[in-house]
């Protein structure tokens, strides 16, 4: 960061930038308003287990954050979004960031409502307040108060992070005093002039009240308390040393607040459980109610409640706008929202416009009327974000990427545990709301993947898939491949200076092997040919070759070793006079590589029509029938309709028509192929004329490569190059033709 930026933006250390916001967000309303009831009905034993289990989730998340953060040179703004984006990519990370911003903003509304909860009883007794609010119901009164609180927090955030940080230090001190006042109450004895019911029983409530509340219901009620680590992580863009501070500050805040919650729960376990139960009118007793007979203590506790809820709202008013600012800076949001990256002050770095956007989310939440349901949605959103951060660290650990070298010492099992438990807790809250949130995130991910990432996943995914692929390929070396497992592994060759021919050949390669096998695209660029603006497929390899080296380069590629014991078993070429097919075919046959020559011909629509296979025996015919089946399945899968497959056989002089038909139909049945059979009587016409007569209306023709077999399958042709070229040219003016020569007989039958 430049010196100018440093002057404009105050940078914070571990304590003020991470620990304090996290500490204040974790020690929120749950500590003062819900923990007393939970401890009373559950008992110290179960409550300690709930606190411990809840903290293991945030601890696992802290390890995951540390893993990802200490592996990044510059984290930048955005907190958990920034960590997730760098591991999971723009699309997945962006979907997490958008969800995180909405959850952080909505949380401010809930904290404002929590602030208004105890304050409403006090303020409504003041004449100036009662004059304006007494005509409204209690909920509306709380909503008015919450709105004022939200606006005060908004103004504080608009002033800037430095101002809010100073306020947070005051809040930090007040919180310590309030929590301390709870811890000292057992030492004060019973309050003077108290009621007949003693507050402290003199023994520890270990078992709780049987049947009042289930363990997992209590867990779901308590868990939101420990999710406040995001308040500190979200300040990543305002830290002097985010790589170190995010990790240390988060771990320390989790450790300190864990001890505080256990200590406070211990104090509550000394209190008479009957005083902690929910009242018949549904009111949950707070610490203010319990210790109302003590002098000074209730005031300190009420201050603590107000400060705890207010500080949480203030912390997220710092975090949420910075998440939105980072989303805008990374061009994740629509273009119309890029302005959220800017400040209202010229040259400023504070996310003031994003702060306004957060306020626009907060106000509808406050006035929604159904705060409980909205609170569930937000709680689940945070859980999903934490879960994905853990999952990101898990993927980074198992990917084996050499670039992943964190200075932290986490383990993939810790991150996996955090992910699984987060997803499990969602089911405890509300599985249907959880599914709804996940579906909405999936929709955002799809839109970002399509419009912001050009349908390409980024981040750790490549490394994860590569690691899995290398392990699978290593296993494949130990598995024998028989005829049952034959798959087309096709090397497609075409020429750089013939784009139309190249695209048609590439398309044929896709139809042959896109779903059923593997395809490798090789575009030969003659040395003297200049570059063009033509956009060839990104997966294609452009190979620059000297004019006289085409055949040698092709043969070298075909004989190159592939991972997993795989080898190229099929080569697809366009018809091009620059290639010496006679030599190529002979050498490929010896290497057991099938040869396909593609003549683009007169293209027909792929959406309907018929594929004609001209059969001259199983030596080529079996491979042609299998290719026709594969091409048909690809077209069906791509939504281009099922094709009719027709096997055409021209009889020799001494062949019987009925026997030949029965043989072909039996072949279709045994090979479980669908199609029809056409038997042609022998005539004096050359084969190219027969094909014109019977196949000119088909969309694709498969036939053997013209030539005479000589001395077995390895010695294919007795033709010279000129004659071979002339033979091929006899088939021009037809629909696309795929000339086929099998290197060996393909077995169509499963014995």
At 373-415, the pLDDT tens digits run 666 677 777 888 888 888 888 888 888 777 777 777 778 899 9
pLDDT tops 70 at residue 371 = no
**Claim to verify: residue 391 and residue 505 sit in the same structural domain:** no
Q: How confident is the model at residue 717 (pLDDT cuts 50, 70, 90)?
A: very low
Residues in Cβ contact with 375 at an 8 Å cutoff, skipping those fewer than 6 apart: 110
Q: Which residue has the higher pLDDT, 513 or 8?
A: 513
Percent share of the chain, pLDDT over 90 = 13
CA–CA gap between residue 375 and residue 382 (Å, rounded): 11
Identify the band that residue 715 occupies on the pLDDT scale cut at 50, 70 and 90. very low
Q: What is the pLDDT of residues 197-236, one digit of tens each?
A: 678 888 888 888 877 788 888 887 788 788 778 777 766 6
Phi, psi of 696 (to 5 degrees): -70, -15
Do 85 and 211 fall within a single domain?
yes
The reply to whether 147 and 262 lie within a common domain is: yes
On whether residue 460 sits in a domain, the answer given is no
Q: pLDDT by residue (tens digit) across 485-512?
A: 678 889 999 998 888 888 999 999 999 9
Statement: residue 481 has pLDDT above 70: no
Q: Do 63 and 391 meet the contact criterion of CB atoms below 8 Å apart?
A: no
Query: Is residue 10, in this structure, part of any structural domain at all?
Result: no
Q: List, for residues 460-469, the tens digit of each pLDDT value.
A: 888 888 888 8
For 397-428, letters b (16+ CB in 10 Å) and e give bbbebeebebebebebebbbbbbbbbbebbeb
Report the number of distinct structural domains present in the chain: 2
- pLDDT for res 462: 80
Same domain (yes/no): 699, 597: yes
How wide is the angle at C-alpha 624 spanned by C-alphas 620 and 628, nearest 5°? 175
Q: Does a structural domain hold residue 181?
A: yes
Taking residues 358-369, what's their average pLDDT?
86
In a domain, residue 348? The reply is yes
Check whether residue 447 and residue 489 sit in a common domain: no
Q: Residue 650 forms beta bridges with which residues?
A: 680
Q: How confident is the model at residue 186 (pLDDT cuts 50, 70, 90)?
A: confident
Same domain assignment for residues 37 and 129: yes
431 and 564: one domain? no
Whether residue 3 is contained in a domain is answered as no
Coil, strand or helix at 423: helix
Phi, psi angle pair for 586, to nearest 5°: -60, -45
* Residue 285 DSSP symbol: P
Question: For 266-282, what is the mean pLDDT?
Answer: 82
Instruction: Please tell me whether residues 510 and 407 are part of one structural domain.
Output: no
Mean pLDDT across 661-689: 85
Q: Which residues are within 8 A (CB) of 260 and not within 5 positions of it... i.e. 6 or more apart?
A: 27, 31, 179
Q: Say whether both 53 and 159 belong to one domain.
A: yes
Is residue 534 predicted with pLDDT exceeding 50? yes
pLDDT at 482 over 70: no
For residue 8, which of 354, 317, 346, 357 has the smallest C-alpha distance?
Answer: 346
Mean pLDDT estimate for the chain: 82
277 or 42: whose pLDDT is higher?
A: 42
pLDDT tens-digit map of 1-59: 444 444 445 567 888 888 888 888 888 778 887 888 889 889 999 999 999 998 998 89
Quote the pLDDT of residue 3.
Answer: 45
What helix, strand, coil percent values describe the chain, rounded to 5? 60, 10, 30
Domain end marker among 400, 430, 451: 451
How many CB atoms lie under 10 A from the CB of residue 292?
A: 16
**Angle at alpha carbon of residue 318, lines to 396 and 230, rounded to 5°:** 35
The CA distance from 135 to 137, in Å, is 7
Handedness of CA 548, 553, 554, 559 (dihedral sign): positive
Q: Could you give the count of Cα atoms lying within 13 Å of 85 in the half-sphere of its Cβ?
A: 27
Rg of the chain over Cα atoms, rounded to whole angstroms, equals 37
Cα(646)–Cα(181) distance, rounded to whole angstroms? 89
Q: From the centroid of its chain, how far is CA 353?
A: 29
Q: Is the pLDDT of residue 603 over 80?
A: no
Closest CA relative to residue 559, chosen from 548, 568, 547, 551: 568
Structure token digits, residue 670: 């045994």
What is the Cα–Cα distance from 374 to 110, expressed in whole angstroms? 9
For residues 633 and 631, give the distance between their C-alpha atoms in angstroms, rounded to a whole number.
5
**Taking the alpha carbons of 456, 459, 461, 467 in that order, is the dihedral positive or negative?**
positive
Choose the final residue of a domain: 430, 451, 472.
451
| Residue 305, token pair as written in the block | 């409640």
Residues 391 and 486 in one domain: no
Residue 464 in any domain: the answer is: no
pLDDT at 546: 78
State which residues form the domain around 659.
480-741
pLDDT of residue 455 exceeding 80: no
Three-state SS at 489: strand
Residue 555 CA to its chain's centroid (Å) = 41
Final residue of a structural domain among 451, 469, 490: 451
Residue 717 lies in a domain: yes
pLDDT over 80 at 122, yes or no = no
Closest CA to 318 of 163, 462, 210: 163
pLDDT score, position 536: 82
533 pLDDT tier (thresholds 50, 70, 90): confident
Q: Residue 480's pLDDT band (boundaries 50, 70, 90)? A: low
For 383, the 3-state DSSP assignment is helix
- Both tokens of 119, joined, read 């304050």
Mean pLDDT calculated for residue range 266-290: 80
- Domain of 298, CATH number, reads 1.20.1740.10
Q: Is 403 inside any structural domain?
A: yes
Does residue 690 sit in the same domain as residue 542?
A: yes
Q: Which residues of 43-72 are buried (b: 16+ CB within 10 A; e: fewer)?
A: bbebbbebbebbbbbbbbbbbbbbbbbbbb
Give the single-character DSSP code of 236: G
Looking at the structure, do residues 285 and 406 belong to the same domain, yes or no? yes
Instruction: Please tell me the distance from the alpha carbon of residue 203 to that of residue 698, in angstroms, as a whole number.
Output: 91
Residue 564 belongs to a domain with what CATH number? Answer: 3.40.50
pLDDT reported for residue 7: 45
- Structure confidence at residue 8 (pLDDT): 46
* Predicted pLDDT of residue 722: 66
Q: How confident is the model at residue 150 (pLDDT cuts 50, 70, 90)?
A: confident
């Amino acid at each position: 960061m430049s010196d100018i930026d440093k002057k404009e933006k105050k940078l914070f250390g571990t304590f003020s930038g991470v620990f304090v916001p996290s500490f204040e967000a974790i020690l929120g309303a749950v500590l003062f308003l819900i923990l007393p009831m939970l401890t009373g009905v559950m008992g110290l034993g179960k409550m300690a287990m709930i606190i411990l289990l809840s903290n293991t989730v945030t601890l696992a998340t802290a390890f995951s954050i540390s893993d990802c953060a200490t592996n990044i040179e510059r984290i930048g703004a955005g907190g958990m979004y920034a960590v997730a984006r760098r591991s999971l990519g723009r699309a997945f990370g962006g979907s997490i960031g958008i969800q995180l911003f909405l959850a952080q903003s909505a949380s401010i509304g809930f904290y404002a409502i929590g602030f208004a909860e105890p304050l409403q009883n006090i303020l409504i007794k003041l004449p100036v307040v009662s004059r304006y609010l007494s005509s409204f119901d209690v909920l509306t009164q709380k909503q008015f108060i919450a709105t004022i609180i939200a606006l005060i927090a908004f103004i504080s955030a608009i002033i800037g992070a430095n101002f809010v940080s100073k306020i947070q230090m005051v809040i930090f001190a007040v919180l310590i005093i309030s929590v301390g006042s709870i811890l000292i109450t057992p030492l004060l004895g019973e309050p003077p002039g108290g009621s007949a019911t003693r507050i402290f029983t003199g023994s520890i409530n270990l078992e709780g009240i049987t049947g009042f509340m289930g363990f997992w219901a209590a867990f779901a009620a308590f868990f939101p308390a420990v999710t406040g680590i995001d308040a500190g992580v979200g300040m990543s863009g305002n830290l002097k040393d985010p790589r170190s501070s995010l990790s240390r500050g988060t771990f320390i805040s989790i450790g300190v607040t864990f001890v505080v919650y256990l200590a406070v729960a211990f104090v509550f376990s000394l209190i008479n459980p009957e005083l902690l139960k929910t009242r018949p009118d549904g009111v949950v007793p707070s610490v203010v109610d319990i210790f109302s007979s003590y002098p000074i203590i209730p005031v300190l506790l009420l201050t603590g409640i107000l400060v705890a809820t207010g500080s949480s709202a203030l912390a997220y008013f710092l975090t949420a706008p910075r998440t939105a600012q980072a989303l805008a800076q990374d061009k994740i949001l629509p273009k119309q929202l890029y302005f959220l990256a800017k400040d209202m002050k010229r040259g400023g770095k504070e996310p003031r416009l994003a702060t306004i956007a957060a306020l626009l989310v907060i106000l509808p939440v406050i006035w929604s009327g159904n705060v409980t349901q909205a609170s569930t949605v937000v709680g689940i959103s945070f859980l999903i974000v934490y879960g994905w951060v853990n999952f990101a660290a898990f993927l980074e650990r198992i990917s084996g990427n050499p670039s992943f070298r964190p200075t932290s010492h986490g383990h993939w099992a810790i991150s996996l545990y955090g992910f699984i438990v987060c997803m499990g807790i969602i089911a405890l809250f509300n599985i249907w709301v959880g599914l709804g949130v996940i579906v909405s995130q999936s929709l955002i991910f799809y839109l970002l993947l399509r419009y912001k990432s050009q349908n390409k996943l980024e981040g750790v995914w490549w490394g994860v898939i590569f690691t899995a692929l290398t392990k699978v390929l290593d296993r494949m070396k130990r598995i024998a491949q028989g005829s049952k497992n034959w798959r087309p592994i096709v090397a497609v060759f075409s020429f750089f200076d013939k784009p139309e021919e190249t695209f048609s050949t590439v398309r044929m390669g896709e139809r042959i092997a896109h779903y059923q096998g593997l395809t490798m695209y090789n575009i030969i660029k003659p040395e003297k040919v200049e570059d063009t603006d033509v956009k060839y497929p990104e997966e294609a390899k452009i190979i620059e070759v000297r004019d006289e080296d085409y055949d040698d380069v092709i043969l070298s590629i075909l004989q190159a070793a592939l991972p997993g014991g795989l080898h190229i078993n099929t080569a697809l070429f366009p018809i091009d006079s620059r290639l010496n097919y006679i030599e190529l075919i002979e050498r490929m046959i010896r290497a057991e590589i099938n040869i396909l020559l593609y003549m683009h011909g007169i293209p027909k629509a792929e959406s309907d029509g018929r594929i004609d296979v001209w059969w001259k025996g199983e030596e080529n015919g079996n491979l042609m029938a299998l290719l026709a089946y594969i091409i048909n399945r690809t077209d069906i899968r791509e939504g281009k309709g099922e094709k009719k497959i027709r096997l055409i056989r021209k009889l020799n002089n001494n062949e019987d028509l009925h026997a030949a038909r029965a043989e072909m139909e039996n072949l279709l049945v045994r090979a479980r192929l669908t199609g029809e059979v056409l038997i042609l009587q022998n005539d004096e016409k050359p084969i190219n004329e027969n094909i014109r007569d019977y196949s000119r209306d088909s969309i694709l023709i498969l036939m053997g490569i013209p030539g005479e077999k000589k001395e077995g399958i390895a010695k294919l042709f007795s033709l010279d190059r000129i004659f071979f070229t002339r033979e091929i040219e006899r088939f021009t003016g037809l629909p696309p033709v795929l000339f086929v020569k099998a290197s060996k007989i393909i077995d169509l039958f499963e014995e």
